[in-house]
Structure 1
Amino acid sequence: MDYFTILNLNKEPFSNSPDPDYFFHSQQHVGCLQKLELSLRLKRGLNVVIGDVGTGKTTLCRQLIRKLRKDDTIETHLVLDPYFSTAHEFLLTVTDMLVADKPDKSEDDYQLKERIKNALFQKGVDEEKTTVLIIDEGQKIPEFCLELMREFLNYETNDFKLLQIAIFAQKEFEKTLEKYANFTDRINLYHRLEPMSFKDTRDMIQFRLNQSSAVAQKLALFTYPAMWAIFRATRGYPRKIVNLCHRSMLTMIIQNKTKANWFLVQSCMKRAFDSPRKRSWALVGTMAVLVAAAIVLVPRFMPERTPSIVSIQPESYEINTPRNNIATSDASTSIPIKDEVSHAGQAQAAKTEMNNAALLDTPAPEKTGTTPDENSSS
């Protein structure tokens, strides 16, 4: 049994597929759709719709195709992935769409352009049809394709363009347009899709529930605070709204609840938008805060160190004289010591002198104030 049947639903209300039946007519989406349809029917040429990821460009594109196909005088062609490797590949694709006979790969670019031009004149003038080329994921369009489309827009009569182009692209496409002024100058309609308001978010959730309801009465599966939490978490982006509502409904079934409240949405929000990349950055931020706190706080709790006193020993003086020619000195001829040396240094020097004399088996002279010559004479 499908999960949505437990909640009195006959279809999944929050599918992430661009189902035109679930296209919510918000004010900006309806306005964009009306402008596009009017521009295409008037054969004004080039139209561009720019929007961020998840703003509903693909759903709007499908809804436009659905409306145009109801008119037999309009022929629509859709390019889902416009990333072509060469200009020849793009020309082969367009030729295959517009020309009944399958193009030969051996044909050069000029031949393919001529076939495209003849097909457009035949459809637009002879058959009085409107040929529309719709391109999704327009930010992938190579630069050489822009030049070719600019040439296609030159195929025209005195009254209208023979080829109508509608491009749905992300914001990256704006940088490409800035580099090609000759292409940008031909844009008739330039529309930017923005996130929805809280009112549109609430109405979109209820609209999808009503579309999937298996009962006649209105389903109220989300409380007002829950809808506010959804809007704050998704910031009004339709794709994020759909994903968060889907997770909330699954949680309702698991927890055996009939209505999603604020707390349930909060718990689902962490699982829906907590990507591994965000978690890694959060871990890096936490580690940085801990390291900074350690640098600041650890020195405060460490004991203060008492400065150690280092004693500087004075230099020792050695007497390197021959055994038979020993010169002793009295107080007046003692070894000179610098004024900077302390009294302890003087005592150490005298002690060193006496040790040197003992090593040489010569008795240390008595310090009587007389010289050795005077002692011998006496």
Structure 2
Amino acid sequence: MYLEHYGLTEPPFRITPHTEFFYQGANRGATLEALQYAILHGEGLVKVTGEVGAGKTMLCRVLMERLPANIDTVYLANPSLSKDEILLAIADDLHLDLGNARAKVLIRALQEALIARYAEGRQVVVLIDEAHAMPEESLEEVRLLSNLEHGHHKLMQIVLFGQPELNDKLAAQHMRQLRERITHGFELAPLRQTDVGDYLMFRLRAAGYKGPDIFTAKAVQLISAESEGLTRRINILADKCLIASFAAGRHQVDQAEARAAIKDSGFRHRRPLRLGWPLASTGLVSLGLIAGATGGHWLTPQVAPPAHTTQPAAQTRPAPAITPPAAAPTPLPASQPATADALFDTRLTQSRSALNQQPAGTYTILLSVTPKQRRAELADFLGQAARKLPADSLYLYPTTTREGTPHYGLAYGLFTDQRAAAQALAQLPPNLQRNQPILRTVGGIREEMWKQQ
């Protein structure tokens, strides 16, 4: 909307992690270097904590890019994985074909594969995002994995990224074995006011801006106070400020634009997000323009560009190379409800029966997990998915976080084994892959569903 007005080549304040916009100030660069050192020197378990929106996921992505080529990285973004699903996810990322092996067999096969990589001079690092939301049994599995050794060398480095609640969880007496294996702990503190102005200009320069300072000292002061130094909030406010200034025909952001952005965002009236899954941020600036500060995480449905929604369904559906399991029920009648809400209700009703009839070891592809109060966004995302995939292969189910917050999960397909599911995941259209979908077992999903009954 405003790129040409400010001489920008791309949006400067997106809230999705783009590593070319990594800000090295405010101790971010030093933390990155310390993480690299800990990993390269086999320091075992490492922990990184920070408030919601402090930049943990950005740091994780940059770390993945800057590790040497001989290090294989495994990125786990889903905090609700069971202990068995963690093993399967790691094996899948390392391209190990272990089928439906039991946990003991998985660990033995994983250890043998890690030893083989170690002999080749390679190292494996597992990066776990949103670790504060992991079930305790899954954290215990992480501890056991950290024990895998060959001689005096750790076969796997593990880095936990989480909110401060992770520290509270690890402080419990029964978690002391895991806590004592953490050799390094880093904290991403909010930006100070003196850093916010530098951060804003850094993002603008990275997006191609070549002019003088856009944000006045007063505007920076207001943004810093309202955002509480959290980079995601800073990005949202700055984006709204630029839109307001553009709408007024100005090239500078002053108090008026900052106050309009603050009024539109209303951060101080929001309930704190204990789980910390990033939410897409959209809104109307007081001038009546739609803000462009949108983004999210793999758990947040993304709205596809219009160009993707106008293509004929026959041209966009992936080839049916994967067949459903032999034990699968008769496919549900294909239906094309007139509205997104109707499709949502239909799939929610029919999915429970379909999932309950599947063997626990059946695989599916989890496309999204979304808070219940954002049903309308998920209904839109479901409609987009139904234009790309058979509607009767999309499964909606109710679930909750460990804190009891109600959510909906959206999954695609039923597959007899992990390899078939992985092949189907690779064939998903790009707009359905941008949320980083993962593989889940039907058994794990059913456990979550039954807790709702």
TM-score past 0.5 threshold: yes
| C-alpha separation in 2, matches of 1:276 and 1:207 | 29
Counterpart for residue 264 of structure 2: 271
The CA deviation at 1:274 is 5.5
Counterpart for residue 207 of structure 2: 212
After superposition, the Cα gap between the structure-2 partners of 1:209 and 1:101, relative to the gap in structure 1 and judged at 3 Å, is closer
| 2:94 aligned with 1:115 | no
* Structure of larger gyration radius: 1
Partner residue of 1:73 out of 60, 70, 88:
70
**One-letter amino acid of the counterpart of residue 85, structure 2:** E
After superposition, the Cα gap between the structure-2 partners of 1:203 and 1:121, relative to the gap in structure 1 and judged at 3 Å, is same
Counterpart for residue 360 of structure 1: none
Query: Which digits, 9 at most, give the CA deviation of each residue in 1:216-242, with x for residues without a partner?
Result: x43321112111121122121111111
The CA deviation at 1:191 is 0.9
Identical-residue share of aligned pairs (%): 27
| 2:181 aligned with 1:186 | yes
| C-alpha separation in 2, matches of 1:159 and 1:199 | 45
The CA deviation at 1:89 is 2.1
**One-letter amino acid of the counterpart of residue 232, structure 1:** A
Query: Which digits, 9 at most, give the CA deviation of each residue in 1:250-279, with x for residues without a partner?
Result: 10111111111112211221111257758x
Query: Which digits, 9 at most, give the CA deviation of each residue in 1:21-78, with x for residues without a partner?
Result: 111111321121111000000011110101111111011111101101xx22111111
| C-alpha separation in 2, matches of 1:89 and 1:268 | 42
Contact 2:74 2:90 in 1 (8 A): no
Counterpart for residue 22 of structure 1: 21
The CA deviation at 1:91 is 1.9
Counterpart for residue 92 of structure 1: 88
The CA deviation at 1:6 is 1.4
Counterpart for residue 193 of structure 2: 198
Contact 2:244 2:260 in 1 (8 A): no
Contact 1:43 1:130 in 2 (8 A): no
Which gives a bigger RCO, structure 1 or 2 (Cα 8 Å, sep 6+)?
1
| C-alpha separation in 2, matches of 1:103 and 1:153 | 20
**One-letter amino acid of the counterpart of residue 96, structure 1:** D
| 2:50 aligned with 1:51 | yes
**One-letter amino acid of the counterpart of residue 23, structure 2:** F
After superposition, the Cα gap between the structure-2 partners of 1:80 and 1:274, relative to the gap in structure 1 and judged at 3 Å, is closer
Please state whether the residue corresponding to 2:159 is helix, strand or coil: strand
Please state whether the residue corresponding to 2:127 is helix, strand or coil: strand
The CA deviation at 1:4 is 1.4
| 2:132 aligned with 1:139 | yes
| C-alpha separation in 1, matches of 2:53 and 2:157 | 25
Contact 1:213 1:219 in 2 (8 A): no
Query: Which digits, 9 at most, give the CA deviation of each residue in 1:60-101, with x for residues without a partner?
Result: 111101101xx22111111111311x3322222222223x44
| C-alpha separation in 1, matches of 2:238 and 2:226 | 11
| Runs of 4+ that moved beyond 6 A | none
Cα RMSD (Å): 1.7
**One-letter amino acid of the counterpart of residue 204, structure 1:** Y
| C-alpha separation in 2, matches of 1:177 and 1:277 | 27
Partner residue of 1:148 out of 130, 138, 141:
141
| C-alpha separation in 2, matches of 1:256 and 1:175 | 49
| C-alpha separation in 1, matches of 2:51 and 2:96 | 39
More helix by share: 1
Contact 2:226 2:267 in 1 (8 A): no
| 2:36 aligned with 1:37 | yes
Please state whether the residue corresponding to 1:201 is helix, strand or coil: helix
Superposed counterparts of 1:157-196, under 5 Å: 157-179=150-172, 180-196=175-191
The CA deviation at 1:157 is 3.1
**One-letter amino acid of the counterpart of residue 46, structure 1:** L
Please state whether the residue corresponding to 1:27 is helix, strand or coil: coil
Gaps of 5+ in 2: 272-453
| 2:238 aligned with 1:238 | no
Contact 2:50 2:162 in 1 (8 A): yes
**One-letter amino acid of the counterpart of residue 199, structure 1:** T
Partner residue of 2:217 out of 210, 214, 224:
224
TM-score in terms of structure 2 length: 0.57
**One-letter amino acid of the counterpart of residue 102, structure 2:** D
| C-alpha separation in 1, matches of 2:146 and 2:270 | 43
Query: Which digits, 9 at most, give the CA deviation of each residue in 1:113-170, with x for residues without a partner?
Result: 101111111112x112111011111112111122222121211134321100111101
Please state whether the residue corresponding to 1:189 is helix, strand or coil: strand
| C-alpha separation in 1, matches of 2:132 and 2:267 | 27
**One-letter amino acid of the counterpart of residue 93, structure 1:** A
**One-letter amino acid of the counterpart of residue 225, structure 1:** K
| C-alpha separation in 2, matches of 1:228 and 1:275 | 16
Counterpart for residue 346 of structure 1: none
Contact 1:18 1:59 in 2 (8 A): yes
Contact 2:26 2:191 in 1 (8 A): no
| C-alpha separation in 2, matches of 1:213 and 1:253 | 17
More strand by share: 2
Please state whether the residue corresponding to 2:10 is helix, strand or coil: coil
Contact 1:133 1:164 in 2 (8 A): yes
Contact 1:209 1:219 in 2 (8 A): no
